[in-house]
């Protein structure tokens, strides 16, 4: 799942659950009646699919993707051997099931990293472990050395007034995440005279660090990188005691990367009413990415395999899509949507998204048809009702999640295509209320291994993995036969 450099990023995963999700939860038990309104053929295929797609079968694919990843560099970043070998596995299994697999090739703006190093040089030398933001301006080779200061006002450093009582000219500023885009933080810091920005990711795990990105890249002004909470808090404590000097060596450059999406269509069904179901196969370069997002890719593969025996029942073409470069600005699905002609866009009935479906400290989240600024495209709420209704029939509570800009549904939503799906959670913090409802650990991230090296097979919760998989298989079968209550066709 891609990480947005947006205002109060983590709060999306907490307030949105309560604002939208609890309403959906409380009304969810009436959803089975809504789901039962669909035509009998749709019910039949939906049930056949939800029965055929099991966690055990999908796990075999997940284990194979894990093996391909670990044997080829330990990640699936675009252009890497891990991505290529994983895509080859998907292609072999789809071809064996009777699909014709197409590679949709494209290139996107990427960022090559040459150095991400830092150290305290005074008063007591020690090494820091920064992670440079993608598209950051570079320091000179060998780095730059300057005093580190914190804002005198709000710690997030989003406005010049936050530095009103602090001399930051020629200095490095240490700020916290949230309240504004990281791009804004470094613009403000540059305008008041700072030469670089270090940012505290401020997660519950004091050793966890995350890579952010500049949006848009052309707004980069000065070098910026993140520190884990433990390092950042120690640095703040040192500053409170007296002057601290740090050397930062942060260097990278923009580049173009070539990659491809994988697409596989059912040979039956209306092409002018296509149901697209997708998950991203790429990972960031710091992790094997088994929950993010190999688990969803494996489940999507098993859904396609199990639909093959039922092609004669498919009335609306189903396009299974494995997106590239989701972790690089949602570039793969954006390219796909950009390439659609107006006729193809109108002929896309809806989009179903699978994102991080096996999070260990999970919430059972269903995208709720709402965007951060209002309702999604017409029909998105109906997709939400039906998927939530499936869970309710299994007596499994759900919460809603807004259709934000953090996954591959986003380009479809912007294009006016209704969308929905499931997401077990990433870097949001589980509240006590959610722990009471779903179990797990309050105060911890929904996936404590989000974008970390520990996102291996052991990080995937097999229970929610199967539950989400069966629900989305049900949805695929249902909409393969009937989308009339979503788009009128």
For the chain, counts of helices (H) and of strands (E): 16, 16
Mean pLDDT, residues 34-49 taken together: 75
Residue 245 has pLDDT above 50, yes or no: yes
Q: pLDDT per residue over 133-177, tens digit each?
A: 999 999 999 999 999 999 999 999 999 999 999 999 999 999 999
Cα–Cα nearest to 35, from 458, 453, 391, 283: 391
Q: Within 13 A of 170's CA, how many CA atoms are on the CB side?
A: 3
* Residue 62: both structure tokens together: 């997940």
Contacts of 37 (CB under 8 A, 6+ apart): 485
Q: Is the N-terminal amide bond of 123 cis, ω within 30° of 0?
A: yes
Provide the 3-class DSSP secondary structure of residue 374.
strand
CA-CA-CA-CA dihedral for 187, 191, 193, 194, to nearest 10: -10
Q: What is residue 2's predicted lDDT score, i.e. its pLDDT? A: 81
Q: Please tell me the CATH code under which domain 111-255 is placed.
A: 3.50.30.30
pLDDT band at 34 (very low <50, low <70, confident <90, very high): very low
Provide the 3-class DSSP secondary structure of residue 228.
coil
Q: Is the N-terminal amide bond of 216 cis, ω within 30° of 0?
A: yes
Question: What is the second-level CATH architecture of the domain 12-99+266-487?
Answer: 3-Layer(aba) Sandwich (3.40)
Name the average pLDDT for the chain. 93
Residues 452 and 352: their CA atoms lie apart, in Å, by 26
Residues 11 and 4: their CA atoms lie apart, in Å, by 12
Domains of the chain: which residue ranges? 12-99+266-487, 111-255
* Residue 38: both structure tokens together: 């669909």
pLDDT band at 1 (very low <50, low <70, confident <90, very high): confident
Q: What is residue 39's predicted lDDT score, i.e. its pLDDT? A: 52
Mean pLDDT, residues 230-249 taken together: 97
The catalytically annotated residue of 116, 231, 302, 326 is 326
Cα–Cα nearest to 429, from 445, 451, 406: 445
Catalytic residue status for 327? no
Least confident among 3-12, 130-139, 278-287: 3-12
Task: Characterize the bridge pairing of strands 172-176 and 144-149.
Answer: parallel
Provide the 3-class DSSP secondary structure of residue 129.
coil
Residues 414 and 118: their CA atoms lie apart, in Å, by 40
Residue 25 has pLDDT above 90, yes or no: no
pLDDT band at 41 (very low <50, low <70, confident <90, very high): confident
Q: What is residue 4's predicted lDDT score, i.e. its pLDDT? A: 61
Residue 278 has pLDDT above 50, yes or no: yes
Q: Is pTM beyond 0.75 here?
A: yes
């Amino acid at each position: 799942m891609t990480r947005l450099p947006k205002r109060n990023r983590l709060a999306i995963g907490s307030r949105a659950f309560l604002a939208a999700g609890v309403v959906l939860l409380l009304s969810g038990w009436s959803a089975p009646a809504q789901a039962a309104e669909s035509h009998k053929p749709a019910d039949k295929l939906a049930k056949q699919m939800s029965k055929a797609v099991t966690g055990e079968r999908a796990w075999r694919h997940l284990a194979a993707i894990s093996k391909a990843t670990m044997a080829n560099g330990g990640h699936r970043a675009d252009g890497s051997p891990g991505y290529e070998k994983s895509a080859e596995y998907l292609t072999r299994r789809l071809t064996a099931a009777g699909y014709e697999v197409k590679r949709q090739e494209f290139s996107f703006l990427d960022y090559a990293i040459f150095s991400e190093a830092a150290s305290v040089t005074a008063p007591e030398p020690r090494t820091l472990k920064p992670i440079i933001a993608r598209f950051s301006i570079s320091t000179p080779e060998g780095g730059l050395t300057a005093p580190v200061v914190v804002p005198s006002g709000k710690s997030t450093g989003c406005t010049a007034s936050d530095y009103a009582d602090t001399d930051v000219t020629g200095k490095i500023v240490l700020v916290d995440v949230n309240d504004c885009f990281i791009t804004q933080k470094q613009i403000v810091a540059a305008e008041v005279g700072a030469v670089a920005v270090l940012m505290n990711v401020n997660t519950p795990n004091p050793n966890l660090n995350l890579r952010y990105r500049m949006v848009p890249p052309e707004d980069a002004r000065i070098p910026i990188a993140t520190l884990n909470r433990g390092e950042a808090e120690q640095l703040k404590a040192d500053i409170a005691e007296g002057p601290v000097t740090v050397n930062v060596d942060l260097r990278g450059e923009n580049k173009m990367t070539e990659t491809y999406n994988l697409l596989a269509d059912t040979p039956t069904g209306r092409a002018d009413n296509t149901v697209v179901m997708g998950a991203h196969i790429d990972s960031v370069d710091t992790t094997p990415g088994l929950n993010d997002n190999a688990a969803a890719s494996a489940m999507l593969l098993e859904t396609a395999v199990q639909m093959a025996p039922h092609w004669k029942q498919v009335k609306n073409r189903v396009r299974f899509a494995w997106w590239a470069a989701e972790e690089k600005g949602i570039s793969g699905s954006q390219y796909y949507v950009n390439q659609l002609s107006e006729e193809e866009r109108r002929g896309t009935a809806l989009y179903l998204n699978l994102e991080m479906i096996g999070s260990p400290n999970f919430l059972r989240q269903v995208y709720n048809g709402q965007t951060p600024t209002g309702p999604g495209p017409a029909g998105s709420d109906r997709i939400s009702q039906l998927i939530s209704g499936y869970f309710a029939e299994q007596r499994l509570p759900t919460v809603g999640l807004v259709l934000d800009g953090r996954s591959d549904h986003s380009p479809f939503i912007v294009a006016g295509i209704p969308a929905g799906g499931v997401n077990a959670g990433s870097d949001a913090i589980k509240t006590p209320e959610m722990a009471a409802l779903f179990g797990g650990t309050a105060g911890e991230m929904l996936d404590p291994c989000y974008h970390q090296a520990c996102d291996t097979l052991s990080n995937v919760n097999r229970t929610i993995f199967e539950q989400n998989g069966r629900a989305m298989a049900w949805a695929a079968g249902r909409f393969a036969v009937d989308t009339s209550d979503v788009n009128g066709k």
